[in-house]
Structure 1
Amino acid sequence: MMYAALARCPLFRGLEEDKIKEIIDGRGDYTLNDYRDGEYIARRDTTYSGLMIILEGKVHGEMTLSSGKPVMIEPIEAPRLIAPAFLFGGYNKLPVDVVADGPVRIMTLHRGYVFELMQNDVVIMSNFIDIVSDRANVWSKKIYYLSFRSLKEKVATYLLDHTSEENPQLPMPDIRQIAEYFDATRSAVQTVLAEMEKKRLLENLPDAVRVLNRKGLEDILK
């Protein structure tokens, strides 16, 4: 079960399950921990000395604003890595709390062992670099979205970036996730989507949004 999950993990992409078992088995440079729903897996500003891999379940990052309100940063499901970009470097502390969403099993690979794995296997090293680069791109896009003045501009940009003329339909995650992504309330996001639908810029479907007028969305950004 553990090795089957690792075979689907981006860090070991391209490696067979038997090969992963050969690499990991017998070393003892990892720990396995189980968590209950709502339990804190790690706390913000704690030293990140081992790479955490979600073997089972889902977690989310959480940050508390100065007002005391907790804000969910991003849900992460198995078999992804938790905060790989903060494992190495001069500041290797977690930027957010990590909380379990339901039952979760976490494998933690010691930092020195991860470095050894990358030295010994170019596939793992390449995968790790790709993972960190992809996360950097995601966060740079998020900063770009948040730099816009209005929520309407943020939503328009998001829809334009995630659809095309050939594929105008975008499956929508839970509206709460979208709202937190834009640092807005659910009702505010729903209001913007409803206004755009009235102007025939898009169509709100039960579980998706279909862009009807890309030019109209582009005009919002001018």
Structure 2
Amino acid sequence: MIKDTKIGVKGMEVWKKSPLFHGMTEQKIEEILMQEQCRRKKYEKGTFVFLEGDVPKSLFLLIQGKVTISQSTMSGRRILLTDITRSGDLFGEVYLFIGKEAYDMDAQAVEDSEVLEIAGEIPRVLWQNMLEIFAKKAYLMNQKVKVLGCASIREKIVRYLFERKNTDGTIRGNLVREEMAEYMNVTRPSLSRELGSMQKEGILEIQGRDIRIADWEKFEMYL
């Protein structure tokens, strides 16, 4: 079920934190949000924000909840592209700028979610921030391509962890195996087996959802 309402200006803290409105005054943000093309929509868990094949007409900003962006392979397998989890983050915006006639991915609310939709032509005042958002997303996509381009599961794990490590060699709170497996396009059992092997070999230390790189020399052999 989808509930569609006029956006209003409620939730200014969300708008101010969003990169879309970076550097803008509250007055300017209010002027944009009060335009007719801005709508607040609520999506129940399991509802699609858009489907592969739909015609792109809007950009979307997460207010609260979680939206998963995924794509189908020829065999029918689902590949996780990204999760939209932070209030203020955008999704679907690139299609308005590259002239694609249809989405080639799905956006699904995986929990009850609320989304800001800006339909039609994007207000010119947002263009500079949009360019910065595109640049950041291009960088993150490049990091994912590096992971997916690795020949083995171990190399994918090492590349994934290397990009997320702290200066002390720890990766805290990031070991959600289902999400890691989807990101790397491998099965969860295969990922778990390889993580277990790396722990037995002394390369990694795993405690709950935290990881520490225990042997840098062995770890870097797979970069």
| Smaller-chain TM-score bracket | 0.7 to 0.9
Superposition CA RMSD, Å: 1.8
Structure 1 residues 173 and 16: alpha-carbon distance in aligned structure 2, compared to 1, 3 A threshold = farther
CA distances 1:10-49 after superposition (whole Å, capped 9, x unpaired): 1012224343113332x21222221110011101132211
Aligned-pair CA distance for 1:168: 0.8
Q: Quote the Cα distance in structure 2 between the aligned partners of 1:97 and 1:54.
A: 15
Deviations 1:106-143 (A, max 9, x none): 2211231x1xx33xx3xx33321111111111112211
The aligned residue for residue 109 of structure 1 is 118
Q: Is the 8 A contact 1:84 1:132 kept in 2?
A: no
Q: 1:210 matched to which residue of 2? A: 212
Q: Which runs of 5+ in 2 are unaligned?
A: 1-9
Q: Secondary structure at the match of 1:162?
A: coil
Aligned to 1:141: 143
Q: Does 1:50 align with 2:55?
A: no
Q: Give the structure with the larger helix fraction.
A: 1
Q: In the superposition, relative to structure 1, how do residues 18 and 167 fare at CA in structure 2: closer, same or farther (>3 Å)? A: farther
TM superposition shift of 1:173: 4.1
Q: Where do 4+ consecutive residues of structure 1 move more than 4 Å?
A: none
Residue 188 of structure 2 is matched in structure 1 by 186
Q: Show structure 1 runs of 5+ residues with no match.
A: none
The residue number in structure 2 matching 1:22 is 31
Which residues in structure 2 correspond to 1:52-131 (within 5 Å)? 52-77=60-85, 78-91=87-100, 93-112=102-121, 114=122, 117-118=123-124, 121=125, 124-131=126-133
Q: Does residue 171 of structure 2 align to residue 170 of structure 1?
A: yes
Give distance in 2, aligned partners of 1:89 and 1:63.
Answer: 19
Amino acid in the other structure paired with 1:149: A
What TM-score results when the alignment is normalised by the length of structure 1?
A: 0.87
Q: Secondary structure at the match of 2:98?
A: coil
Of residues 175, 184, 196, the one that matches 2:198 is: 196
Does the CA contact (< 8 Å) of 1:160 and 1:214 recur in 2?
no
Against the structure 1 CA distance between its residues 110 and 65, is the aligned structure 2 distance closer, same or farther, given a 3 Å change threshold? same
Matched, 1:13 2:22: yes
Aligned residues: 212
Q: Write out per-residue CA displacement over residues 151-196 of structure 1, whole angstroms, 9 at most, x where no aligned residue.
A: 11111122222225x3211022421000001111111111111111
Answer yes or no: is the 8 Å Cα contact 1:4–1:17 preserved in 2: no
Aligned AA (1:34):
K
